[in-house]
Amino acid sequence: MGKTLAEKLWESHVVRSAVGEPDLIYIDMHLVHEVTSPQAFEGLRLAGRPVHRPDLTLATEDHNTPTDYTLPLIGTSSIKDEVSRTQIEALRSNCAEFGVTIYPMGDAEQGIVHVIGPQLGITQPGMTIVCGDSHTSTHGAFGALAFGIGTSQVEHVLATQTLPLDRPKTMAVTVNGELAPGVTPKDVILAVIAKTGTGGGQGYMVEYRGSTFEAMSMEGRMTVCNMSIEWGARAGMIAPDQTTFDYVQGRDHAPKGADWDAAVEAWTQLRTDDDAEFDAEISLDAADITPFVTWGTNPGQGAPLSDIVPFPSLIEDESERVAAEKALQYMGLEAGTPLREIAVQTVFVGSCTNGRIEDLRAAAAVIEGHKVADGVRMLVVPGSVRVRKQAEEEGLDKVFIAAGADWRQAGCSMCLGMNPDQLAPGERSASTSNRNFEGRQGKGGRTHLVSPLVAAATAITGHLASPADI
């Protein structure tokens, strides 16, 4: 019997396999940021252990960094919060002590860890990539096995460049057909999560297959794979193809010359064999997918924008019904309200889900010639310094600023409440990020997850909307 892509990636990284023990898996690249690494470096120090492969370890600063465009980003003086500043300084001194390459705030290569790997060409097909961050699944878009790990595992990878892991099962998510205008990769993954629930992918390495994913750009594929963790999947991946190779070729860390040819030959084998079997399969029809938004407090609580806030009383499963009641209470929503009538105070475009150049272009195209509605603030936060510079070269910053939006520096920003960009209690946002958990964007904040197109249209109208509504 043939093998799936996930099985091929797994088997090519087994260092050691023994009955009754987890496989020891080699890690090709370890990405590090300031939040989940300090205790791991401290553990190495206490045990007197070095970083085994500093050359396969890359650090950047993203979660704590301020994004206010007026701040000087050299040094750490722009970080007003002392605890945040200490954490950033700890990463810098740990990288210096252990010989790890770091792109600090103010550097031309700084950005969200899942944005800088691909843009540097460090993320390549066939790799294993880990990071102390659950959205590491993003890199699976290149046909890599990529997943988030906890701090104990960060320490383990630093010390050994390996991880002992039990092999997850495999699942195929197949979507075929062309997406209608205004429907984006974000809508596809939100629809998948609403279908499966937040635990549907638990224990699986997921491969996204079918013509809908094949037609997506690398940015779109990254958006899909990024949110794999939001339905519990251990990893999400898409088989590499010409789109992948074209994206990687010529980037700083991409193989060159004869190495490139050897790499492409190896990468071309990274496909699920025709006679391979998945442990589970689900499928959706692209024609059924429309702009999708969330109404609740987990990413599975979503619905088409044309729908209404659901009636919890109609939900059969008891724990889901209770969760929906609690979510509506937290969100301050009444069942039966058309989703289009929900007014927001803040719109956030950015994050490792939708902070890439294609996302900014899409949002700018909608908002050009319009104004952000009265009483609404719109933050546009590029995923990296490179994305910011490219957007500025294309004049996108001017489009956003002319519309009354706030154009900012690169970072995780309002995706999570660790830096100054936060929602106030009760404030409601339309956000292109990945989590609508209670308090995720700031204590008491209310989040609706949306695509960049819906975010831009919402900014113009002041309530959840798609470009077709303008």
Partner 1 sequence: MDKFTVHTGTAVPLRRSNVDTDQIIPAVYLKRITRTGFEDGLFNAWRTNEPDFVLNRPAFAGATILVAGPDFGTGSSREHAVWALHDYGFKAVISPRFADIFRGNSLKAGLLTVELAEKIVQRLWDDIEDDPAIQVTVDLVERQVRWSGEVHDFDLDDYSRWRLLEGLDDIGLTLRHVDDVAAYEQARPAWKPTAISTAS
Minimum CB separation of residue 23 from partner 1 in Å reads 11
Q: How many CA atoms lie within 13 A of 189 on its CB side?
A: 36
Residue numbers 64-83 binding partner 1 by CB under 8 A: 64, 81, 83
- Shortest spacing between CB 166 and partner 1, in angstroms: 7
Minimum distance of partner 1 from residue 22's CB (angstroms): 6
Number of Cβ within 10 Å of residue 28's Cβ equals: 19
CA distance 55 to 195: 41
What is the nearest approach in angstroms of partner 1 to the Cβ of residue 342?
Answer: 22
The amino acid sitting at 386 is R
- Taking contact as CB under 8 A, which single stretch among the options 218-226, 247-255, 276-284, 359-367 is the one that binds partner 1? 247-255
| Beta carbon nearer to partner 1, 129 or 410 | 129
Site residues for partner 1, 174-193, by CB under 8 A, read none
Residue from 111, 132, 182, 411 that binds partner 1 (CB under 8 A)? Answer: 132
Binding of partner 1 at residue 406 (CB under 8 A)? no
Interatomic CA distance for residues 156 and 27, integer angstroms = 11
Q: Is 249 in the site for partner 1 (CB under 8 A)?
A: no
Return the residues of window 309-338 that contact partner 1 according to CB under 8 A: 319-320, 322-323, 326
Q: For residue 262, state whether it binds partner 1 (rule: CB under 8 A).
A: yes
Is residue 61 involved in binding partner 1 (CB under 8 A)? no
269 binds partner 1 (CB under 8 A): no
- Residue 411: CB minimum distance to partner 1, A: 14
Q: Which stretch binds partner 1 (CB under 8 A): 216-224, 248-256, 385-393, 398-406?
A: 248-256
In the complex, minimum distance from the CB of residue 182 to partner 1, in angstroms, rounded to a whole number: 29
- Residue 335 contacts residue 399 (beta carbons within 8 Å): no
Residues 281-300 that bind partner 1 (CB under 8 A): 298, 300
- Alpha-carbon Rg for the chain in angstroms: 21
Gap between the Cα atoms of 239 and 187, Å rounded = 21
Q: Which is nearer to partner 1, 39 or 283 (CB)?
A: 39
Q: Which is nearer to partner 1, 98 or 469 (CB)?
A: 98
Nearer to partner 1, 252 or 275 (CB): 252
Give, as ranges, the residues between 442 and 461 that touch partner 1 (CB under 8 A).
443
Residue 199 as a binder of partner 1 (CB under 8 A): the answer is: yes
Q: Residue 289 or 379: which CB sits closer to partner 1?
A: 379
Among the residue ranges 174-182, 230-238, 345-353, 449-457, the one whose residues contact partner 1 (CB under 8 A): 230-238
Task: Please say whether the beta carbons of 91 and 59 come within 8 A.
Answer: yes
CB 159 within 8 A of CB 235: no
**Pattern of binders to partner 1 over 27-56, x per CB under 8 A?**
-xx-----xx-xx--xx---x-x--x-xxx
228 is a contact residue toward partner 1 (CB under 8 A): no
Instruction: Give 251 or 370: the residue with its C-beta nearer to partner 1.
Output: 251
**156 to 175, contacts with partner 1 by CB under 8 A?**
156, 159-162, 164, 166, 168
Q: Pick the binder of partner 1 from 4, 76, 119, 124 (CB under 8 A).
A: 124
Q: Which lies closer to partner 1 via its Cβ, residue 92 or residue 361? A: 92
Site for partner 1 contains 194 (CB under 8 A): no
Q: Which stretch binds partner 1 (CB under 8 A): 119-127, 372-380, 390-398, 448-456?
A: 119-127
The one segment of 118-126, 237-245, 363-371, 395-403 that binds partner 1 by CB under 8 A: 118-126
d(CA 64, CA 420): 8
Check residue 308 for interaction with partner 1 (CB under 8 A).
no
CB of 338 to partner 1, least distance (A): 25
